[in-house]
Amino acid sequence: MRTERASLSRKWLERYDEVRNQTLKLVETLGPDDQMVQSMPDASPAKWHSAHTTWFFETFILAPHMRDYAPFDARFGFLFNSYYKRLGNHPNRAIRGTFSRPTLDQIRHYRTYVDSGVRELLAREASAETLRLLELGLNHEQQHQELIITDIKHAFWTNPLRPSYQPSQMQAVESGGAPLAWCYFDEGIYEAGHDLRGFAFDNELPRHRTYITPFRIGSRLVTNKEYQAFMDDGGYTRPELWLSDAWDHVSGEGWTAPLYWERTEDGWTQFTCRGTLPLNPNEPVCHVSFYEADAFARWANARLPTEFEWEVAAGFAGNSAMTSGNLLESETYHPRPATAQAGLQQIFGDAWEWTASPYSAYPGYCPPAGLEGEYNGKFMCNQIVLRGGSCATPASHIRKSYRNYFPPQARWQFSGIRLAQDGLARDRTDS
């Protein structure tokens, strides 16, 4: 039994080091000044992400489960708490970029200190509860790895110099492109939610049955070329295409194109993690809000899929779609064009896909007890579900039951569009 427990501890320690080192890799090219920038209230500095993920392990694992644990700095419990009200107060999210202290070197020492504590705890006792919380903490850190990329991209875009997060590399504009096809699915009662094999967040549970009418779903994501046709047809100036609240945002914010697009004398460009590049017409359109996705779908005589339609389609695509997707490990941090292959493409990776579903609880859902109850459940209001992951999502983090969620006006995330239609009768051209 002791040998088995030691082997399990080594396995989890290897996983712990893998995830923690990935975070360090994402920030290794960023200087101290870069890691302090907060370009808008919804984003956070890279330094804060590094500290908060460390705080999570200290607060959820070391403090309650390691005897005689001494916090690195008692003040950090307040400073790096994100939104856990049961732990007391915390700084306003919008001012995280004003914290010049603690310094980046102190944050690095903090990470090293907590990492040492986790290793010691695993060597002492790999209890089931400790390992459960460790897995939660690792998945939590992977969420922040994605946010590091999205937040630093936005920060560098707001800089007039438009610096590159990655080495600059001009990309050739590809010709052709995969035509859009429709994949048909019959009506029926389907299982939705996580199947309890492996890790899941609480908002993916419980698994339940849901009735779905016949539908068709696009074989790939909507492209820049297709979205530009919507723009050229006056898409941003036609109120009949927009929800009421959406039209208020379009008018109030002056939206005329997706975030990071810019019109020049030579045509459209977009800002990427490799700097400003010519717009590739065959790449998936990205950095659009739910409002823009919904308006485009209306213009295209289609609609957005529900999250359950999307999950049914993802199940059909199979696990191989996850391993072959354009995810964080590809290190492109940018969507890629679909290929000419038949069937569903880009179901995992490239861009998070807006659905038509509000973020709400599944039938029978109960938030976990204690602090974990504040992780997901309390955000089930005024948010829309996205599915599928993006080019910044770790491959080991995504699955078909994963539910991401953002306010409908959010644009800075790697979010795109997949179309759906009602499928009352099978079309001969359907897959």
- Residues 157 and 271: beta-carbon distance below 8 Å: yes
Using the structure block, give the residue that is written with the tokens 């490239």.
350
At 38-73, the pLDDT tens digits run: 999 999 999 999 999 999 999 999 999 998 999 999
Helix (H, G, I), strand (E, B) or coil at 11: helix
* pLDDT score, position 286: 98
Q: Any residues with CB less than 8 A from the CB of 275 and at least 6 apart, and which?
A: 162, 163, 164, 168
Helix (H, G, I), strand (E, B) or coil at 180: coil
Beta strands per DSSP E along 292-383: 352-358
Class of 2-158 in CATH: mainly alpha
Topology adopted by domain 182-422: paralog of FGE (formylglycine-generating enzyme) (3.90.1580)
Residues of the chain with CATH 3.90.1580.10: 182-422
Instruction: Give the residues of the chain that fall short of pLDDT 70.
Output: 1-6, 169-176, 318-322, 424-431
* pLDDT score, position 283: 97
Residues of the chain with CATH 1.20.120: 2-158
Cα distance between residue 166 and residue 183, in whole Å: 36
* Alpha-carbon 88 to chain mean position: 27
Helix (H, G, I), strand (E, B) or coil at 109: helix
Read off the DSSP letter of residue 42: T
- Lookup: tokens for 393: 């999502």
- Residues 293 and 259: beta-carbon distance below 8 Å: no
The answer to whether the peptide bond before residue 102 is cis (omega within 30 degrees of 0) is yes
- Residues 347 and 355: beta-carbon distance below 8 Å: no
At 72-116, the pLDDT tens digits run: 999 999 999 999 988 889 999 999 999 999 999 999 999 999 999
pTM higher than 0.75, yes or no? yes
